[in-house]
Amino acid sequence: MDVTKKERDCIVVIHENSSGFPLRLSDIASLMKVKPSTAYELLNRLLSKKIITKEKGMIMPTQYGNRVYSEIITAHRTMEILLTKSGVNRDIACSQMEKIDYLMDELSVEKILKQIGNPDKCPHGKPVKPV
Amino acid sequence: MDVTKKERDCIVVIHENSSGFPLRLSDIASLMKVKPSTAYELLNRLLSKKIITKEKGMIMPTQYGNRVYSEIITAHRTMEILLTKSGVNRDIACSQMEKIDYLMDELSVEKILKQIGNPDKCPHGKPVKPV
DNA sequence: CATAATATTAGTATTATACTAAAATATTTA
DNA sequence: TAAATATTTTAGTATAATACTAATATTATG
């Protein structure tokens, strides 16, 4: 897994907005607040990294993409728990983690998670291990 | 404080190698394993951000540069402690933190530091709060 | 001063990001 | 289905960060 910040944001946006029907480029462009041509480029990078697939304009994460998403989110939420346990406000912890979650090693995250007792939920009540 | 990864590395290299006499561009270039022209560019960015000064070829951190360095290192070592406490190997924790220390909020770091009992030393025995 | 070492400038390249504008495709609706 | 509308793709441009080579300028040192 090796993604840039924008790729990370895009992966998260795709996952957090595909409840029901899949997204298309134009949806992603507006969710990410960029022009379609910018979204096109970004999605192309995700396509070539095999994180998403595109079929008839419908964008969906691949299995690998789901793993990448899960890894990012687990890092995000694990560290959020850690920060809030230290007294950091949960929303500050969240915005803080958005900047770094995608850069963390899976193994270190797993160890921290274990050390803090394998909680299932982040401070916002979302699952540390999403599907 | 807003630095890139290479700027961060350069700041750290400068601080960790200025015992005694100050460094010059060529020293930094070889320490960072880049060509002088690349180092020149990088140092120019640090100059314009007022993180370093250059006098007669001698490169030295400004007071602000020292603060930036300190902030990075405190984040680095605080998180190293946190990770090793969770069972992460200290060298893995170190290389992990090199990727993200410069992106962390000072405030969150301070809170974590307090929560873990304000230790003075990182797992390698170096001060959490450098000069 | 001449040579050697250093630093600077100029020019090129790549990657990530993002835009405008035009062209090509698809979709919807009258 | 044809026309209108929406969406996607392509092309071209731009910027910032990174990094290179090669040439030039500057500074030290013998």
pLDDT in tens, B15-54: 999 887 889 999 999 999 999 999 999 999 999 999 999 9
Nearest Cα of chain B lies from the Cα of A125 at a distance, in angstroms, of 21
| Residues ≥6 apart with Cβ < 8 Å to A131 | A66, A70
pLDDT at B51: 97
DSSP, collapsed to helix, strand or coil, labels residue A2 as: coil
* pTM: predicted TM-score of the whole model, two decimal places: 0.91
pLDDT at A131: 76
DSSP of B85-124, one letter per residue?
A: HTT--HHHHHHHHHHHGGGS-HHHHHHHHHHTT--SB-TT
* Yes or no, beta carbons of A96 and B108 under 8 Å apart: yes
Nearest residue to C6 (CA, C1')? B26
Integer distance in angstroms from CA B112 to C1' D26?
Answer: 49
Question: For residues A27 and A80, what is the distance between their CA atoms, to the nearest angstrom?
Answer: 28
Element (H, E) at B54: strand B52-55
Question: For residues B48 and B51, what is the distance between their CA atoms, to the nearest angstrom?
Answer: 8
Nearest Cα of chain B lies from the Cα of A112 at a distance, in angstroms, of 5
Confirm or reject contact between A107 and chain B (CB < 8 A). Answer: yes
Q: Is the pLDDT of residue B85 over 90?
A: no
Q: Which residues of A9-46 are buried (b: 16+ CB within 10 A; e: fewer)?
A: bbbbebbeeeeeebbebebbbebbebeeeebeebbeeb
What residues of chain A lie within 8 A of the CB of B86, using their CB?
108, 111-112, 114-116
Mean pLDDT rounded to a whole number for chain B:
94
Residues 23-82 of B near strand C (Cβ < 7 Å)?
24-26, 29, 36-37, 40, 43, 54, 57
Element (H, E) at B9: helix B5-16
Q: Closest Cα to residue A18, out of A65, A59, A47? A: A59
A66: left (phi over 0), alpha (psi -120 to 50) or beta: alpha
- Rounded to the nearest 10°, the torsion over CA A108, A114, A119, A120 is 70
End-to-end Cα, chain A, rounded Å: 18
Q: Is the pLDDT of residue A65 over 80?
A: yes
Nearest Cα of chain B lies from the Cα of A20 at a distance, in angstroms, of 35
Which pairing describes strands B52-55 and A52-55: parallel, antiparallel, or unpaired? unpaired
pLDDT at B86: 84
Q: Are B99 and A1 in contact (CB under 8 A)?
A: no
> Average pLDDT of A48-56?
94
Q: Tell me the domains of chain B and their CATH numbers.
A: 5-61 (1.10.10.10), 67-115 (1.10.10.10)
pLDDT-derived band of residue B98, with 50, 70 and 90 as boundaries? very high
pLDDT at B88: 87
Q: Are A25 and A7 in contact (CB under 8 A)?
A: no
Best residue of A81, A88, A107 to probe chain B, by most B CBs closer than 10 Å: A88
Of A83, A111, A116, the CB nearest to B88: A111
CB atoms within 10 A of CB A121: 12
Q: Are A83 and B79 in contact (CB under 8 A)?
A: no
